[in-house]
Amino acid sequence: MTRGDSILAPAPLIDGRLSPRQLDDDIYRPLESFPTFRWWIAISITGSLAGLFAFCLYFTVSRGIGMWGNNQPVGWAFDITNFVFWIGIGHAGTLISAILYVLRQTWRTSISRFSEAMTLFAVFIALQFPLFHTGRPWQAVFWLIPFPNDMSVYQNFRSPLEWDVFAVGTYGLVSLMFWYTGLLPDLATARDRARSSLARFLYGLASLGWSGSARAWRHYEKAYILFAGLATALVISVHSVVSFDFAVAVLHGWHSTIFPPYFVAGAIFSGFAMVASLVLILRKMFRLQHIVTLSHVELMNKIIIATSLMVAYAYAMEVFMSWYSGFGPEWFQTVTRATGPYAWAYWTTIACNIVAPQFLWLRRVRRSPWLTYPIVIAVNVGMWLERFVIIVVGLHRDSLPSSWGMFFPTWVDIGLLAGSFGVFLTLVLLFCRFLPTVASTELKAVTAER
Amino acid sequence: MDNVAVKPIGVVGLFDSPDALLGAARRFREAGARRWDCHTPYPVHGLDDAMGLKPTRLAWVTIPAAFLGLLAAVALTGGLSVIQYPIRIGGKPLFSWQAFVPIFFELFVLFACVSTMIAIIVFCRLGRWHSPLHDSDVMKHITCDRFAVAVQTGGEGEMSDADVRRILEQCGCSEIRPLVECEE
């Protein structure tokens, strides 16, 4: 959009005019050419980090979860912080693919496929943390899912942790199906473009024999809108349920009705920051700058600033309600957050999540990848710390001063956190190499409609 | 591939624009074509009407499945908390349905989505990895940028090859090919 345009003018889809064939050539190029040197460098770094993740999980299982730093009184720490963080990252993908679809925001097409894939990887990583916190992940199926057993012992469905199992499990499966449905026609394109017979066979298998038939399209379009509608409700429910892990607990600083909307806004905020921080690199790496344009970056930045303000409102309301309640222990929690031993984390959160995004009010910053990048990284850091503050500060000083304590992460904790990024980025790089990162079919449809 | 016999079963016409395809679809519908379909790189609006296709009944699968999921969730939580493993927690009723609402909702969505996924595969007849369009070597155009009408001919009460070709030519078809099927 240039300066003179109406703010109501539809956002541009791509830069310039590309024929469908040129679009395909650009989008499928990474699949059809040998990976670049940069790709190999990137995947060797992320792959090593993923190895660290596997090693730390092995260590956790073989030596026990005592390898982690959490202990009384801080019984939950990095594990659930990472869990909430990664689930939140996933939410941007669903927002882009489902909510923006329902709202007919066609600009989402350039980034939707990639963000959906990001959702899947993030949910997969998030699940590892609670699973390994059980200590015996191979037995966890009996503990988490109502599974007929000899003892006739079943789950407590009143527990938010059990709600989590259903919410996150459903979310993971639905995201997978939604993503795969969207991918079907693109897989068919990849099949028909493939030069090697192995690629043709594999893409052909994955595309389920899609032939673009008009009879199929009419079912397909209906299914897509149904998926989008269901996923819209689902995404809001999932992070609400995740926030219930805390909100339903009887603990000062956690027991709060503001948590569900606050968590959902925070999830979208952090998710968009993650989409932006990856897309900014990948559009350059795979030469897609004309498809994922600066206007897309700007629009993402606008959503980041909007959600940043929602999060700021939630932070302010949390403080206000704790004061307004007139309840001593509640107010004590608030004061401890801002002045206690973890005050550094609280103020870093404020700086990263509320102060840093304010620079995005400037159009020059919004449209500059170099200036946007530090901001979105700050938001990622800030959102991770926000969960850390909620969880650890809430636990480390309860009502009885004799049971106060501190949490210090071990190297395994830090290894798992760093390693989770390695797994995530490795999956992202593999995705970009083997599957189309842009929804080419949908992009052709929306550009033709224009 | 050398030993494969090729049997012509109809005609396929390729168009460069969706509008030309719409015109051709209307003509074939009026001409009473039987085994025919249009193939497009992306969904073309108005093609359903032009071809005379009925609206999809996919929602008839999704909605009942969603409510089945809701019912399953009530049965699961209620059955396990009241009959199979009744434990009083916090003095609450055994069937404290308010606390089960998240599970009701999640299974509602899960059943709806799984059934929709299965329904697409069945309704769109996916999972058949081979079609005459591949044999006729037109699929690579369809999944890229061209729009095709494939009409099978020669059956009882069906149009003849010549009729199909005539309509295609009148509708501004850019390329006409025989629709073939490979035989082992």
Given a cut of 60, whether residue B1 has pLDDT beyond it is no
What pLDDT does B3 receive?
63
d(CA A254, CA A248): 8
d(C-alpha B101, C-alpha A163), whole Å? 9
Give the pLDDT band of residue B184 (cuts 50, 70, 90): low
| Predicted confidence (pLDDT) at residue A4 exceeds the cutoff of 70 | no
Contact B144 A158 (CB under 8 A): no
Domain with A231, as residue range(s), is: 20-449
The answer to whether B77 contacts chain A (CB < 8 Å) is yes
- Per CB-CB distance under 8 Å, the chain A contacts of B29 are none
Give me the residues of B, 16-45, that contact A with CB < 8 A: 18, 25, 37-44
State whether residue B62 sits within 8 Å of chain A by CB.
Answer: yes
Amino acid at B117: M
Q: B122-161 pLDDT, tens per residue?
A: 998 888 877 788 888 888 888 888 899 888 887 777 788 8
Residues of B in contact with A440 (CB under 8 A): none
**pLDDT score, position A415:** 95
Band (pLDDT 50/70/90 cuts) for residue A1 is: very low
Can you tell me the distance from the alpha carbon of A293 to that of A283, in angstroms, rounded to the nearest whole number? Answer: 9
**Calpha distance B74→B84 (Å, rounded):** 14
Chain B residues in contact with A158 by the CB 8 A cut-off are 89-90, 92, 96, 99-100
- Are residues B113 and A215, on separate chains, in Cβ contact within 8 Å? no
Whole-angstrom distance, CA of residue A19 vs CA of residue A9: 23
The whole-number pLDDT of residue A292 equals: 87
The pLDDT of residue A9: 65
Chain A nearest CA to B123, separation (Å): 7
Q: Which amino acid is at B94?
A: L
Instruction: Give the percent of chain A with pLDDT over 70.
Output: 98
Give residue B8's pLDDT: 82
Q: What is the CATH number of the domain that holds A284?
A: 1.20.1630.10
Are residues A80 and A148 in contact, defined by beta-carbon separation less than 8 angstroms?
A: no
* Domain assignment of residue A11, yes or no: no
A24-29 contacts at long range (C-beta below 8 A, 24 or more positions apart): A24/A189, A24/A193, A24/A440, A24/B144, A24/B145, A26/A287, A26/A288, A26/A290, A26/A291, A27/A288, A27/A291, A27/A436, A27/A437, A27/A438, A27/A440, A27/A443, A28/A189, A28/A190, A28/A193, A28/A436, A28/A440, A29/A286, A29/A287
Q: Is the pLDDT of residue B87 over 90?
A: no
Cβ contact B43–A445 (<8 Å): yes
pLDDT at residue A141 tops 50: yes
B85 and A442 within 8 Å at the Cβ level: the answer is no
Judge whether residue A2 has pLDDT over 60: no
**How does A76-102 read in b/e, with b if 16+ C-beta sit within 10 Å?**
bbbbbbbbbbbbbbbbbbbbbbbbbbe
**Can you name the residues that pair with B67 across neighbouring β-strands?**
none
Judge whether A315 lies within some domain: yes
Question: How many angstroms separate the CA of residue B31 from the nearest CA in chain A?
Answer: 18
* Residues from chain B contacting residue A27 (CB–CB below 8 Å): none
8 A C-beta contact, residue A187 and residue A113: no
CATH of B5-54+131-183, one of 3.30.1370, 3.30.310, 3.40.50, 3.30.70: 3.30.70
Mean pLDDT to the nearest integer, A350-360: 93
- Residue A9's Cβ-count burial label (10 Å; 0-12, 13-18, 19+) is exposed
Tell whether the model's pLDDT for residue A44 goes beyond 90.
Answer: yes
Are the Cβ atoms of B145 and A20 closer than 8 angstroms?
A: yes
Q: Can you tell me the mean pLDDT for A360-372?
A: 91
Q: Which of B131, B112, B37, B43 is nearest to A233 (CA)?
A: B112
Count of beta carbons in the 10 Å neighbourhood of residue A310: 16
- DSSP string over A113-182: HHHHHHHHHHHHHHHHHHHHHTS-GGGHHHHHS----TT-----TTSHHHHHHHHHHHHHHHHHHHHHHH
- A251 part of a folded domain: yes
Listed by number, the residues of chain A in 23-42 with a beta carbon closer than 8 Å to a beta carbon of chain B are 24
- Cβ partners under 8 Å of residue A89, min gap 6: A118, A119, A122, A267, A270, A271, A274
Which pLDDT tens digit goes with each residue over A208-253? 988 888 889 999 999 999 999 999 999 999 999 999 999 998 888 8
Res A3: pLDDT = 47
Could you state, in order of their start, the residue ranges of all structural domains in chain B? 5-54+131-183, 59-123
Q: pLDDT digits over B57-75, tens only?
A: 889 999 999 999 999 999 9
> Do residues A293 and A361 make contact, with C-beta atoms less than 8 angstroms apart?
no
The reply to whether A399 falls in a domain is yes
The one-letter amino acid code at A305 reads I
Q: Which of A19-33, A56-70, A129-143 is least confident? A: A19-33
- Pick the range with the lowest mean pLDDT from A157-166, A288-297, A348-357: A288-297
Q: Is the pLDDT of residue B55 over 50?
A: yes
What value does the mean pLDDT take over residues A199-215?
89
Stretch B114-118: mean pLDDT? 94
Spatial separation of the C-alpha atoms in residues A245 and A129, rounded to whole Å: 15
Residues 6 or more apart from B15 whose CB is under 8 A from it? B21, B24, B146, B147, B148, B149, B171, B172, B173, B174
Nearest CA distance, B80 vs chain A (angstrom):
7
When pLDDT is cut at 50, 70 and 90, the band that residue B2 belongs to is low
CA dihedral (B34, B40, B42, B47) positive or negative: negative
- Let me know if residue A373 belongs to a domain: yes
Kindly report, residue by residue over A98-111, the tens digit of the pLDDT: 888 888 888 888 88
Asked if residue A269 is part of any domain, the answer here is: yes
Whether B48 has its CB under 8 Å from any CB of chain A: the answer is yes
CA distances from A139 to A89, A133, A166, B78, B135 (A): 28, 12, 17, 25, 50
A105 DSSP assignment: -
Determine which of B113, B122, B129 to mutate to test the interface with A (most A C-beta atoms within 10 Å).
B113
CA distance A292 to A439: 11
* Whether pLDDT at A314 is above 90: yes
Count how many domains chain A has.
1
A290 touches chain B (CB under 8 A): no
